[in-house]
Structure 1
Amino acid sequence: MRFPIVPSGTNLFSLYPKIKESSSSGRWKEVLSHYKEIKEAGIQLIDHEIFSHILKACLALSFRTGKSVHASVIKQGFESFTSVGNSIMNFYAKSGRLASSVGVFNCMKTKDSVSWNIILHGHLDQGAFVEGLDLFMQARAVGFEPNISTLVLLIHTYRNIRAFTDGQIFHGYLIQSGLWSPSSVQNSLLHMYTDISMDYAEKLFDEMYEKDVISWSVMIKGYVHSDEIMFALESFKQMVSEFGIEADGQTMVSVLKGCANLGDIRIGKSIHGYVFLRGLNYDLFVGNTLVDFYCKCNDIKSAVTAFNEMPHKNIVSWNSMLSGFVHNEKYLQALTLFDSMGESEVDADEVTLVNLLLICKVLGDFRQCKLIHSRVIQRGFQSNELAMNSLIDAYAKCNQINLSWRLFCQIKRPDIVTWSTMISGFTHCGMPDEAIAIYREMRLSLQSPNMVTLLNLLEACTLSAEIRRSKWAHGIAVRMSLASNVVVGTAILDMYSKCGAIEMSRNAFDQISMKNIVSWSAIIAAYGLNGFPHHALSLFSEMKVHGLEPNPITTLSILSACCHGGLVEEGVSIFKEVAKKHGDELKLEHYSCLVDLLARAGKVDDALEIIKSIIPVGMKAGASAWGAVLSACRNYENRELSEAALSEVLELEPSSSAGYLLASNTYAVGGSWKDASGMRWLMKERCVNVVAGYSLVHASNKSYTFTAGDKYHPLSHIFGPVIEQLHSCMKMDVGATSL
């Protein structure tokens, strides 16, 4: 072999070991520097093995240089060496140029196991799963023996594409080929089986001769994912206590997530103690999970402690704490934390901004919402679906529906979440016609509704209170096979209830396959709302026969039914029964409803006793309770108590017209016209707007609203005389009764 003439000062053979040494230490710049020195000297490389080191450096630093190295290989005729072809193929595959890698692979005259492993990794790593699996079948046909990393990658591929039947066949191939014994292969198979069935996973787990921390962690994670939390905790106990295997960060993340799903703060705190003893609290992922656990268990104080003790925090840490404050209604603390993020030079991401929008939505803070919108634009999140949907929702909840609509129109291809959010926004702003029109437009765009869309549509029809529309929406639920779903079925019965169609409400209730306490509460409320208190009581008893205990909503529904039906003894009895069993669950609205029940029946002293002595410490009677007392004073002409009740109502709700009007009417009934007009004058002086009540009348499959004294309604000429006639008949009935 003829060697090229080496210029003086350049020792080719001294550069080879330097390149190899620099490569083994990862000093890629030195590798390319030595390669450049050889090229500038005009020397041709004679050792083909050196190319693997140079291509590794190119992979780390310069794709362009790597392409030039490939050209040099072809020019010097080294492409025939299989090892060189493998290095070039690996360079292209790991650079994301899969097509170039495949081109090199196809041109290789001789392929070894390394060649097949590289091309398989290239496909499977870059998501070309089907092509990768086809290549594996070709490789098997030529006697290819995959390495352990390829076997693991193939198992992950079957799991990722959920080809579980093929995955089980591959499991059989591993056993037949004697390739299934490595622990990494068994753990990968175990991971796949946790996605299929925990029964299969348990069977494989029991067959494994050696179980390491990864094996146990996979099983614990599988149990948590399958919502079998007690099995997960028992497995953790076995792993640590019986087998003496020390848990790692991944194990603790799964265990803590299980505790969060279980909502067991006591067990979670003991797990936290174990984390501390093992020094795993320094693990970033464990720390984030601890914060999330305490937030989900509503222990904000412990969440803050865990957050402050984290030595290192990332954006997930801050967002977890921020989300915890928001979902636990600690809005001021959330805003303070956001300020701290800025001071710590942590950039807010879309999740941060969405949490802040949740605060704006709850507080109705339009100004803050606009500021966050500007931040979304500054950060370039306009294409982020989560951020844009949250903005549309927040503006709607701030009653800025025009801005929501403007944002919606800017989205070229709204997804189902965006459509649903817009429907919900119109409904929230009292625009059911527009909400229903948006739904129809969505269907014209060939977008299929999901359950959330349907629930928003049902809510719009509930607000519309038109029986024809309600039947149409019910039909959609039937066609989607969701009418028997407990959430949808409950929404349907509530919708019919608001239309006054109580029989249809009952039919919708009967169609629910698995009724829960919410559906029972809804049907009880429906009968109470529509003037059937005895039916409501009967359903309340029937619910308890089915083994369901009333929750606060159920209690409020039945108390309201008793209140409007005048069933004083029954209402008081139910209140006492619930207070005895679940007294700590009773809220101010329950006591206010009891006050209203007694006041309506003329038991004003008893109602006052509830306000003064029965309502627990920490609660204060609101305007609704004192308003009920004031109303009773008007009916039963108790002037002294009326003054005290009026003072409380006006103090609690100085900007509401209801208290002023009630007081004025009370004075008028007692003949105190001067005081009555004075109350009207006070309301005008304080710029309190009167919110007029209205009546809803169904005619020709449409609903019409009429306010008192409205002579300009298009149908007033039809309904006006009818209403006057009904009024006259009512007066005659009252007169006949008094006689």
Structure 2
Amino acid sequence: MTTLTRPIRFLCLPAKCNFKGLHTHHLFDETSQRDIYSLNALLASYNRYGQFSTTWVLFSCIHRAKSDLNAYTFTPVLGACRALPRPERGRQVHGLMIKTGAESGTVAKTAVMDMYSKYGYLEDSVRAFKEMEFKDVVTWNALLSSFLRHGLAREALGAFEAMRVERVEISEFTLCSLLKACASLKASPQGKQVHGMVVVMGRDMLILGTALIDFYSAVGCISEAMKVFCGLNCRKDDAMFNSLVAGCVRNKKYKEALSIMSTMKPNVIALTSALTACSENSNLWIGKQIHCVAMRHGFTSDTQMCNVLLDMYAKCGKISNARSLFNGISNKNVVSWTSMIDAYGSHGNGLEALDLFKRMGEERSEVLPNSVTFLAVLSACGHSGLVEQGRECFNSAPEKYGLDLGPEHYGCFIDMLGRAGQIDEVWCVFQDMVEHGIRPTAAVWSALLNACGHNLDVTRGEVAAKHLLELEPNKPGNFVLVSNFYATIGRWDSVDQLRSIMEMKGLVKEVGSSWVTDSKCHESDFT
């Protein structure tokens, strides 16, 4: 009894304390005096409270001091390996499990599966599954999760069919995974069948309600998502509200998103979704109200919240408000810097965007630009006609920062050069892109076509037009772009021909619009 009481007192500590090395070593010195059961409990406790490095070091000491390791020794350390770097660490533990004979149990084998899956080794994860003699619902759920984690939704549905053949009992987690697979595949009929199973089986809607809302939102049936939400008899938690708000925003139902927001207790996730609605709808009035709510609840210390607020003000044309928010962010991340650079660029303030980009690496935070940052800087240079600076930025991405340039970067740079009248360099850049094995996208062909139009490069422009329409033959904007090119060079017969093709295909030119709502009288439209 004495031996067991002492470790239990230690088990309470991780919830309150952040263990430092000295205290940890003090505990490790006693491993030889403790039995394996109390040490297993201590390992599980460290892992449960996120002390992964401590879990690993303690396990290493146990391995040196004890010979009677069992499945309950390995399970928590496998969980820690998933969160720690160096995949070979996990493989070493798996090898030791095989050596000690602790691998055969269902619990241990499922932990091995999960570890390999989270490392990205799907083949090893599936192999561990196939080697198991007895597979329970947790094991099958781990397989479903593995497939979904690697973007293999069809394989996940196939695993579920096999699960039914084996007559394995289905859990709420199983149904959540199925709904995720159906959402990923946009498989509306199959997802509705899963919804039917949920109802018939009388499963816990507190768990499955959010998954159903996510599914219907993903397949574009936002009215069905609202029906699920309104029909829930259980207590609606923040996750359900947040899911519905995000679903409304995803489906451009901005009024509904903001209306739901007015009925719930504010939280960071819901407010960021609502701010996205304000950004997309250019509703500065509601955006300001949400900013006030965020300040009142102390959410403006959250970097993600500030980033979304910054984006909202920028898209509503309030660049000075966006900069004030940026200056006030104490822990700026790469999104903060990129958002502000993009805000300057989209408002034609290319020099300010470049200045901010140069400051980025000089700050104490040492936040490095990523590929999106470079795209924002290139776009800013293009909008402001800063060709030399844009060229320097384009060349520095791989040379200085080791970043791989994608078709979006080439397209942006080509557009910039084309506007500056440097058509020969445009095609040199395009050739460089092809030589680097980057496949031209529709955006690249569009940029080339625009460049040819600006510089009256007829022959190569027709090549670009042909490739663009072959790549995206049913996009109205492409026909408009090609039509404008032919109009520029005076080929009106080709313009008429393109209009006839659009009419025959039933393609309609998208209508552009631009407005900002900044008046209290519009509040009723959104709440």
Would the aligned equivalents of 1:559 and 1:571 in 2 still touch at CA under 8 Å?
Answer: yes
Partner in structure 1 of residue 134 of structure 2: 312
Residue 234 of structure 2 corresponds to residue 234 of structure 1: no
Q: CA deviation at 1:206?
A: 4.8
> Which structure carries more relative contact order (alpha carbon 8 Å, separation 6+)?
2
* Match status 1:403 vs 2:403: no
2:259 is paired with a residue of what secondary structure? helix
Displacement of 1:225: 4.2
Which string of whole-angstrom CA distances, capped at 9 and with x for unpartnered residues, describes residues 656-708 of structure 1? 1111110111111111111001111112222334322212245645789xxxx
TM-score (norm 1): 0.66
Question: Are 1:622 and 2:444 an aligned pair?
Answer: no
Identity %: 30
Which amino acid counterpart does residue 542 of structure 1 have in structure 2? R
- Equivalent residue, structure 2, for 1:193: 13
In the alignment, does 2:184 pair up with 1:184?
no
Please name the residue that 1:580 is paired with.
399
User: Match for residue 472 of structure 1?
Assistant: 289
Partner of 1:331: 153
Determine if the alignment matches structure 1 residue 500 to structure 2 residue 500. Answer: no
User: How far apart in 2 are the matches of 1:285 and 1:262?
Assistant: 21
Computing the radius of gyration from Cα coordinates, the structure with the larger value is 1
**Aligned counterparts of 1:559 and 1:278: Cα–Cα separation in 2:** 58
Give 4+ residue runs of structure 1 displaced > 6 Å after superposition: none
Task: Quote the residue 2:456 is aligned against.
Answer: 637
Shift of the 351–600 alpha-carbon distance from structure 1 to 2, 3 Å rule, reads farther
Aligned partners of 2:418, 2:129: CA distance in 1, in Å?
A: 51
The question of whether the paired residues in 1 share the 8 Å contact of 2:476 and 2:507 is answered with: yes
Tell me, yes or no, if the aligned pair for 1:604 and 1:629 is still in contact at 8 Å.
Answer: no
Question: Is the CA contact 1:591–1:615 (under 8 Å) kept in the aligned structure 2?
Answer: no
Q: Identify the residue that residue 186 of structure 2 maps to in structure 1.
A: 364
Q: 1:274 to 1:209 in 2, by over 3 A?
A: closer
1:125 alignment counterpart: none
Aligned-partner Cα distance in 2 for 1:645–1:212: 74
Partner of 1:550: helix, strand, or coil? coil
Change (3 A) 1:270 1:369: same
C-alpha separation in 2, matches of 1:551 and 1:469: 32
2:107 aligned to which of 274, 280, 285: 285
Matched AA of 1:402 = S
Q: 1:510 aligns with which of 323, 327, 335?
A: 327
Residue 502 of structure 1 contacts residue 526 of structure 1 at CA under 8 Å; is this kept in 2? yes
CA distance in 2, matches of 1:209, 1:332: 50
Q: Structure 2: state its 5+ residue gaps.
A: none
Q: Which one-letter code corresponds to 1:346 in the other structure?
A: V
Aligned in 2, Cα 1:394/1:284: closer, same or farther, shift over 3 Å?
Answer: same
Cα distance change on mapping 1:604 and 1:311 into 2, 3 Å? farther
Deviation of residue 203 (structure 1)? 5.0
Shift of 1:513: 2.2
Match of 1:450 among 233, 258, 267: 267
Q: Please say if residues 179 and 191 of structure 2, whose CA atoms lie closer than 8 Å, have aligned partners that are also in contact.
A: yes
Q: d(CA) in 2 for partners of 1:214 and 1:587?
A: 54
CA distance in 2 between counterparts of 1:489 and 1:279 reads 52
Task: Report the Cα offset of residue 544 of structure 1.
Answer: 0.7
CA contact (8 A) 2:7 2:38 kept: yes
Matched, 1:340 2:340: no
Q: Alpha-carbon deviation of 1:207? A: 6.2
In structure 1, runs of 5+ residues without a counterpart are: 1-147, 149-181, 443-447, 705-739
Q: Distance in 2 between matches of 1:402 and 1:695?
A: 28
Amino acid at match of 1:696: W
Give 1:15-414 correspondences, 5 Å limit. 148=1, 182-197=2-17, 198=19, 203=26, 206=29, 210-241=33-64, 243-381=65-203, 383-412=204-233, 413-414=235-236
SS at match of 1:301: helix
- Which amino acid in structure 2 is aligned with residue 274 of structure 1? L
Please state if 1:535 is matched with 2:325: no
Q: Which amino acid aligns with 1:352?
A: T
Please say which of residues 617-626 and 477-486 is displaced more in the overlay.
617-626
Q: Distance in 1 between matches of 2:201 and 2:83?
A: 34
Counterpart of 1:498, as a letter, is K
Instruction: Classify the secondary structure of the residue corresponding to 2:515.
Output: strand
Contact 2:24/2:54 (CA < 8 Å) preserved in 1?
Answer: no
CA contact (8 A) 1:263 1:296 kept: no
Measured at CA, do residues 261 and 208 of structure 1 come closer, stay the same or move farther in structure 2, by a change above 3 Å?
A: closer
Aligned partner of residue 545 in structure 1, secondary structure? coil
Which amino acid counterpart does residue 376 of structure 2 have in structure 1? Answer: S
CA 1:610 to 1:252, structure 2 compared with 1: closer, same or farther past 3 Å? farther
